[in-house]
């Protein structure tokens, strides 16, 4: 009794409504046609149909989905539809639904468009297909294009350059040693034989290589750009690097050490005998500068040795064969004293073509006096002018004494040829 009192309403003692009671009330209300407010309402089936029609009127024409004719339902209300649209894409249950679809949803225009497209497609399928035109076939060479003209022009330019190289071959630069190469290893400028001396080419004791004067001045007091060794602060550091390479039989380092004993400019005590011994060792190892210096010493009996011109010629020849212009000119002096004018002329010609001013002057004398060649004052004038352009005074003097074209040259007393030391201002 107590539990029943607690479950009842505290005001009217009415038992509470359960879920089953609510469902029963809703079923009774639906059967009587009343709404929750007590008014009579339409049946649910008719209400659902009207809601579907209202939604179809508010939907835009493009949003409607076209149903397949294989279905049996009306596209408007969803009931069974027996009426098929002429476009064969929709079904209707009655004329009223068709009117809603045609007027309110715009299916009338879509139906006409679908039927027109089908008719055109049927006509195209019935019409015969025209035969395709055959692809034209071109016989003969292809038409020339702009690319062909460019290729022809490039080929002509290459051919002209090849002919020019063959007509005017570029002389090979001198290769005095494997370490010196053909050019400065820093700026890659070819060695100039007119400036080949110890004042223009600087020997790097850290890596035993030679660089041009300009690069040496730019890298002064800085690490070596070739081996990255620090700059020698004192003469002792420079001498230590030089001795280290000399102990490893580096010809250029041995030659530089020998010249240091002769001049005494790197903190060494002057000793011509020791310097000559080192120069001979460097010459045996292949240093062309050492070869030329030893040859001049035996020619003049200098540095504690006696005069021996045959040995001087023998030591100088390997350097001349390797293209060293000063050695070529010096060897030509020995040969002209032995009256071997043809070989002497060839050596002087090679040195002159490399740009050695004293060789250009000597070659002018050969043509002026007919040593090994026929006399040709025009050729002599040309070589005198090249020597004078480099500032050689003797070439300027002989050029001024040459007669005008068409006149004979005055007699000159024959000058005794005494070798490179007497006639060349470029001797090492």
pLDDT in tens, 226-252: 888 998 888 889 899 989 999 998 888
Q: Which residues are CB-contacts of 35 (< 8 A; sequence separation ≥ 6)? A: 29, 41
317 vs 390: CA distance, rounded Å? 27
Q: How many CA atoms lie within 13 A of 176 on its CB side?
A: 28
H helix or E strand, kind and range, residue 45: helix 44-58
Q: How far apart are CA 201 and CA 180, in angstroms?
A: 10
Is the pLDDT at 352 greater than 80? The verdict is yes
Tell me, what's the pLDDT at 48? 47
Strands (E) in 56-96, as ranges, are 83-84, 91-92
Asked if residue 326 lies in contact with residue 193, where contact means CB atoms within 8 angstroms, the answer is yes
Instruction: Give the CATH H-level superfamily of domain 324-428.
Output: Tetratricopeptide repeat domain (1.25.40.10)
Judged against a pLDDT cut of 50, whether residue 68 lies above it is answered with no
Q: Helix 377-389 and helix 357-369: axis angle, to 10°?
A: 160
Cα–Cα distance list, 105 to 49, 99, 100, 110, 165 (Å): 17, 9, 7, 10, 90
Q: Is the predicted pLDDT of residue 10 greater than 70, yes or no?
A: no
Sequence spans of domains, the chain:
20-115, 324-428
pLDDT in tens, 374-398: 888 888 889 999 888 888 888 888 8
Residue 210 to residues 146, 155, 261, 272, 416, Cα–Cα distance (Å): 51, 41, 19, 24, 36
């Amino acid at each position: 009794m107590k539990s029943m009192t607690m479950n009842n309403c505290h005001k009217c003692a009415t038992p509470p409504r359960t879920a089953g009671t609510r469902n029963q009330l809703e079923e009774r209300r639906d059967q009587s046609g009343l709404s929750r407010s007590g008014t009579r309402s339409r049946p649910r089936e008719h209400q659902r149909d009207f809601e579907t029609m209202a939604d179809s009127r508010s939907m835009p024409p493009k949003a409607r989905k076209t149903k397949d004719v294989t279905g049996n339902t009306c596209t408007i209300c969803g009931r069974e539809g027996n009426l098929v649209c002429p476009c064969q894409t929709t079904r209707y249950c009655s004329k009223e639904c068709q009117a809603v679809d045609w007027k309110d949803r715009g299916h009338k225009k879509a139906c006409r468009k679908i039927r027109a497209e089908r008719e055109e497609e049927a006509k195209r399928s019935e019409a015969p297909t025209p035969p395709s035109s055959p692809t034209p076939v071109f016989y003969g060479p292809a038409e020339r294009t702009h690319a062909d003209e460019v290729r022809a022009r490039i080929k002509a330019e290459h051919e002209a350059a090849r002919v020019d190289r063959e007509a005017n071959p570029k002389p090979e630069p001198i290769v005095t040693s494997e370490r010196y190469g053909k050019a400065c290893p820093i700026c890659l400028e070819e060695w100039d034989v007119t400036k080949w001396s110890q004042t223009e080419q600087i020997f790097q004791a850290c890596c035993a290589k030679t660089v041009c004067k300009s690069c040496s001045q730019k890298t002064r007091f800085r690490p070596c750009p070739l081996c990255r060794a620090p700059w020698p602060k004192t003469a002792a550091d420079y001498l230590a690097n030089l001795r280290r390479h000399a102990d490893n039989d580096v010809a250029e380092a041995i030659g530089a050490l020998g010249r240091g004993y002769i001049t005494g400019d790197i903190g060494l005590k002057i000793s011509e005998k020791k310097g000559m011994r080192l120069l001979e060792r460097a010459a045996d190892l292949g240093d062309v500068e050492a070869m030329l210096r030893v040859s001049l010493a035996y020619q003049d009996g200098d540095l504690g040795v006696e005069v021996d011109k045959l040995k001087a010629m023998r030591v100088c020849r390997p350097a001349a064969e390797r293209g060293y212009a000063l050695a070529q000119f010096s060897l030509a002096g020995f040969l002209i004293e032995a009256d071997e004018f043809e070989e002497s002329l060839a050596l002087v010609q090679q040195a002159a073509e490399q740009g050695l001013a004293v060789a250009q002057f000597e070659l002018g004398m050969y043509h002026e006096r007919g040593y090994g060649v026929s006399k040709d004052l025009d050729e002599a004038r040309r070589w005198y002018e090249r020597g004078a352009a480099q500032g050689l005074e003797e070439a300027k003097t002989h050029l001024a004494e040459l007669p005008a074209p068409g006149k004979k040259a005055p007699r000159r007393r024959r000058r005794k040829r005494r070798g490179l030391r007497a006639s060349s201002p470029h001797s090492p």
